[in-house]
A = this chain, B = another copy of it.
Amino acid sequence: MERELLLLGLLRQMRMYGYQLHEFIERDLTTCTDLKKATTYFLLEKMAKRGWISQTEEREGNRPPRQVYEITPEGEQVFQRLLRENLSSYTPVRFTDDIGLAYADAISPEETRTLLVQRRAAMQQDLEQARAIPVHEGSIQLLLDHRVAHLEAELVWLDRVIEHFSK
């Protein structure tokens, strides 16, 4: 239901069409979810069927008509419920990158170390990118802080791991 919450929350701020929603999520909400375009359209269709959102065909200039989505009162109810559910509960993060670590004994410590140093560089770069994002207003800033805090902790941990494979 997180993806639904995500879409409802955006539509709550303003009516939008699928492409627009996907663009926005890709640009500003990648830390929360990885939502592909086709999935976006699928979810919008589903939520429209359930009456959470309404769709209106609209055309602008010469462009072909677009489905513009708007949240319904029922959708607002669902949003309120999902929001409280989300805020009050905790979903453990999955570290898919750790799978390889579990099998690190399959190759030499030296090679593991070399590979992890590459990983570290990518992480460092991501951290720098996160730090470069200008300060946002409101609660969006919390997400940005989260990303930075998380990556800093990850780097500390990864350095310990690299150390572990350096003997």
Contact = CB atoms under 8 A, between A and B. Distances in A.
Given A90-B123, A153-B150, A156-B149, A96 B139 contact: no
Chain A interface size range: 35 or more
A97 interface: yes
A30 to B, nearest CB: 8
A132 interface: no
A78 interface: no
Interface stretch (A15-23, A44-52, A57-65, A100-108): A100-108
Interface in A64-85: 79-80, 82-84
Interface of A: 2, 5-6, 9, 12, 29-34, 79-80, 82-84, 86-107, 111-112, 115-116, 118-119, 122-123, 126, 138-140, 142-143, 145-147, 149-150, 152-154, 156-157, 160-161, 164
